[in-house]
Every structure is written in structure tokens, then in C-alpha cells.
Structure 1
């Protein structure tokens, strides 16, 4: 097969792992920077040129689109779809995953457990917003934030009011979520490929840090999911129509709660924690789909 990986850099761990997995399975693979693609739109003749060369005879693409390149990256994925090329991530799913509010609405409609969340149009009645999630402590998240950036833990009502007033003054869109204290600064990352859980790890934030992101000093250990947790992850990926998804969830007293679903989940942390070749699993998913 002829596989293209849409990534800004071939040196990234996840991109390189996918390249190596594809090569080992005897496929032709190329990393292309989506920002260097030119989209040609013509009646019944969609085309993509990469650095001046037409991309044709492509069997599959693996989008690894960063948040800063969502708009153009999505356009490139959509063009491949118009060319009837198989993609591990549909353009619509990519857009939905980057819209935190929209993805939470979809997950809620699907009946999945979520932390109680409030979104308003820069409401000046911040006390009411705080009360809707059960008061402080609470979490405030920028809608555009990624990898733990733009996430604030407000431990008191006064602190929450100050942060919300500041964000509202800057006209920064935020969501407010209840703080799940029993999670104790840990969450679970579940990798779902083609409707099956292929790896899971528990991420624990460093001392004094409520965010569990590994690049912020968190640690990861392999975890055996309960049946309820496994089903929640699978249903979340299905609800957002993702062939490959990184589902983040919290363990709470009322069962697993979905935090978010990542459309371009990193492979390094979970491969090291589980010892599994997730990249190979993704390539085999493509093979089964063609």
C-alpha cells in the first residue's frame, strides 16, 4: 500500500513509530507536511500537490494534525476524502474533537458520563455559573487549550470568580467543570483503534499538580480497565466517529467520566507504559479497511 502520514515533522516519536511500523509491514510510506500541500478543486477532479508534485495512487492517510494547524489540516484531509482515499481520521471527526464544547455535547447525547460542565456567553453572573457545578473547587478550561495549557484549578469561590472575570474581560471562551476530588490528580488515557481498546495507562500528576499530562512531569503506569471503563472509552470514540482515538477519563464515585477525546493521540507515553506496539496496530487497522 501507499500510505501518507500528515505530520509537520518526521522526527516526532508518533510519526516515526508509524513510519517504522508501515515499513516493517512492507508498505510504501511518506511523511508529508499538510501545510505544504496545495489543494486543487475542479469539477469531479479533486487533486493535491505536495511541494509541486501531484499526489496520486494514495491508498490511505494517517492524519497527525496539531491544534495550531487544524483549519488547513482539516481541508487537506477533506480533499483526500473527496479523492476516495481511506483515512484513519475523518475531517468531520477532527473538527469535532477540536471543539471541546461540541464534543462534550455529542458525548452527553450518547449517554456517557461527564464532569458537570457549564458554558455561558461571558456571563457577568459568575456566582451562578459556579453554583451550577457545585461550587469550588472547580476547573476552568480555555476552549482552545491543549496539553494542559489554559486549564486552571480554582480552589475557592473567590479565586473562581476572579479567574472567570479575568477571562470574560479578555473575551476568552471558557468552560467551567466540577472538580472530581476522588480522582486525586490522576486520569486514564485509553487508546481505541477500530472500536477496540488496544492500550491503557493511568497518568498521575506530580506532587502539587492537578494536571496529569506527562510532559508536565506526570508519570504513567499500565492499568487494567474495568468493563465499565473499557465500554465508556469505546462508546466515546464511536460517538465522535473516530477510527483512532485517545480517550481521557476520570475514575469517580459515579463511574468513569469522559474528559475529552483526542484525535491525534501521542504514542510515546502509552507504548512505553504498556510495552505494546500501538503504531503496528494502527497500520493493521488500515490493512483491514482496504
Structure 2
């Protein structure tokens, strides 16, 4: 198998592990910086060049696309798709997952449990918008934030209103959600590869913090996802069209609720906590897909 990994930095843990896993299985692999890829688009065909040389013939492309380069990097990935390469996470699926509002709409349409979410544009509707969620605390999230950035917890209606008005003044896109207190500042990251959860870890927020992201000081430990939680995680990834995903759930009194579906989940936290070869599972999955 001839494999390309789209990544800005070949030394990043996740990229490095994918390269190691691919080479250990005898595959040819190359890391391509998506910002150095450039394309020709014409009715007679699609082509790609990288640092002045043609790029072609890749069986599989695995995207490791950061949020800051989403637009350009997904265009590069789409070009590879049009040139016949398989990817576990198509460009349109990544765009669906990166847009929190769109992702929540698609998940809810499949009957997947979520915290109640509200979205609106006009300042005249702010009070009624907040009333749709019930009393605070409220969680306010930038629509395209990542790693816990742009996520705020407000304890009073006046604080919720102030944050909403501030974000609107900055022309930021955001959603407002109910706060699920019984989760206790913890969530469950289910790492989905294909039709199964290959690893799960519990992330606990640091003292005084409500965000459990490891980048925010959260602590990770191996976890056993229930059959229901695994089913929800797989359904969530499938609803967005992702073959590889990190699905973040919270355990609530009404069952597992999906917080987010990450299309470029990091491998370091989950491999370190669970001692599972997640990179190898990804390589095995894409290898089987192109051999079918």
C-alpha cells in the first residue's frame, strides 16, 4: 500500500506513530505538508504537485488536519479523493465535524443523545434563546473551537447574556448548551476506527476547571466503555461520515450524551493511557478497505 499522511509536522506524536505503524506492516508512507501541496483543476483531469514535483498514485491518504488550516487542507484532501485515493475521513466529513452546529444537527437527526443546544443570531432573541435551555449554568462554545479553547461556563443568566452579546459583537459563531452537572467534570473519549471502539479513556477535569481536555490539565485514565456507549460512539462517527474519530461522551442520568466528534483525534493521550496500538488499528483498517 502506498500511503500519504497530510500533516504540517512529521515529528508530531500522532503523525510519527502512523508512519511507524505503516512501515512496520511493510507499507510505503510519506508525510506531506498540505500547505505545500498545490493543484491543477480542469475538465480534463485533476493533478497535484508538492514542492515542485508531481504527486500521484497514493492508495490511501490519512488526514491530520489542524483547525487553522481546515479550508485549504480539506481542498487538498478533496483533490486526492478526485484523483482516486481512499481516505477514512473524507473532506466533507471533516467539514461536518468541524462545524459544531452542523454536527449537532446531524447527530440529533439520528436520535443520538446530546446536551440541549441553542443557536440564534438576533440580539432581541437572547433572553428567549437562553430560556430554551433552562436555568444556568450554561456552556457557551465557539462553533469551531478545539482542545477546549473558546468554551465558557456561565453561572448566572446575566453572565450568559453578557458573553452572548460580547461574542455577537465580535461576529463570532457560537452555540449555547445546557450544563450537565452529574458528569462531574469528566468525559469519555471513545476512539472509533471503522465499526468499533478500539480504545476508551476517561478524562477528568483539573480542580477548579470544568473542561476535561488534556490540553487544559485534565487527567486521562483507561476506561471500559459500555455496549451502549460504544454503539453511540460508532453511530456518531458514521452519522458524520468519519471512519476514524474521537467521540467525546458524558455519562448522564439519561444515558450517554455526545459532546463532540473529533475528526483528527490525537493518539498520544489514548495510547499512553490505554496502552493500545491505535495507530496500528488505523493502518490495518485502511489497508483492509482498499483490499476489499
TM-score bin (small chain): over 0.9
Greater alpha carbon shift after TM alignment, 65-74 vs 122-131: 122-131
Q: State how far apart, in whole Å, the 1-side matches of 2:270 and 2:178 are.
A: 27
1:9 aligns with 2:9: yes
SS of the residue aligned with 1:76? helix
Closer, same or farther: CA 260–196 of 1 in aligned 2, 3 Å: same
1:282 aligns with 2:278: no
Contact 2:138–2:155 (CA under 8 A) maintained in structure 1: yes
Aligned-residue offset at 1:122: 3.6
1:67-102 C-alpha deviation (Å, 9 max, x unpaired): 011111111111111111111210110110111111
Aligned-residue offset at 1:171: 2.1
SS of the residue aligned with 1:11? coil
- Residue 249 of structure 1 aligns with which residue? 249
Q: State how far apart, in whole Å, the 2-side matches of 1:140 and 1:196 are.
A: 31
Q: State how far apart, in whole Å, the 1-side matches of 2:170 and 2:67 are.
A: 21
- Residue 35 of structure 1 aligns with which residue? 35
Q: State how far apart, in whole Å, the 2-side matches of 1:260 and 1:33 are.
A: 26
Aligned-residue offset at 1:44: 3.7
- Residue 259 of structure 1 aligns with which residue? 259
Which blocks of at least 5 consecutive residues in structure 1 are unaligned?
none
Contact 1:122–1:171 (CA under 8 A) maintained in structure 2: no
Q: State how far apart, in whole Å, the 2-side matches of 1:68 and 1:122 are.
A: 27
SS of the residue aligned with 1:175? strand
1:151 aligns with 2:151: yes
Q: State how far apart, in whole Å, the 2-side matches of 1:113 and 1:281 are.
A: 27
Aligned-residue offset at 1:127: 2.0
- Residue 54 of structure 2 aligns with which residue? 54
Normalising by the residue count of structure 2, what TM-score does the alignment of the two structures yield? 0.97
- Residue 184 of structure 1 aligns with which residue? 184
1:211-233 C-alpha deviation (Å, 9 max, x unpaired): 00101110001111111111100
1:6-55 C-alpha deviation (Å, 9 max, x unpaired): 00000111000000001101111110000000111122421110111111
- Residue 234 of structure 2 aligns with which residue? 234
Aligned-residue offset at 1:123: 2.9
Aligned-residue offset at 1:172: 1.6
> What does residue range 128-147 of structure 1 map to in structure 2 within 5 Å?
128-147=128-147
SS of the residue aligned with 2:115? coil
Aligned-residue offset at 1:265: 0.4
Normalising by the residue count of structure 1, what TM-score does the alignment of the two structures yield? 0.98
- Residue 224 of structure 2 aligns with which residue? 224
Which blocks of at least 5 consecutive residues in structure 2 are unaligned?
none
Aligned-residue offset at 1:275: 0.3
1:249-277 C-alpha deviation (Å, 9 max, x unpaired): 11100000011111100000000111001
- Residue 169 of structure 2 aligns with which residue? 169
Aligned-residue offset at 1:2: 1.1
Q: State how far apart, in whole Å, the 1-side matches of 2:268 and 2:54 are.
A: 32
Aligned-residue offset at 1:287: 1.1
CA-atom RMSD in angstroms:
0.9
Contact 2:123–2:165 (CA under 8 A) maintained in structure 1: no
